[in-house]
Amino acid sequence: MKIILNTIGTLCLVLGILGIILPLLPTTPFLLLAAACYLRSSDRLHKWLMNNRYLGPYIKNIKDKRGMPLKAKIYTIALLWGSLLFSIYKTDKIVAEFILVIIGATTTAFILKLRTLTE
């Protein structure tokens, strides 16, 4: 069972890291799932993830405080709208453009609704 949980945790970690770069792939659920898998399977991997310079504070802030630093909010929203506007520019289907705008608006609203943490 530990091997399965380590494998799932590692896959979720990779998807979470990709989610940092790809705006429509969610980062937070994958990182939280990776932390949960590692917690149940490998103390060493769990400690590494939670003490990771970049991912550890992100997971802890979401898990404990339900917040996001202002810099992360700005970066996320800028990357989200940059990729969405590029996709809207490349498509000629009005329905797809409408769906992309709705996705962008709801995701932006969710991010802005999160508590802003002071760094």
Which residues of the chain are modeled with pLDDT < 70? 23-24, 65-66, 119
What pLDDT is recorded for position 59? 87
What pLDDT is recorded for position 71? 83
Half-sphere exposure of 105 (CA within 13 A, CB side): 6
Q: Distances from the Cα of 94 to the Cαs of 7, 86, 88, in angstroms?
A: 41, 14, 9
What pLDDT is recorded for position 119? 61
Q: In the chain, where does DSSP find H-type helix?
A: 2-21, 28-41, 43-50, 55-60, 70-90, 94-113
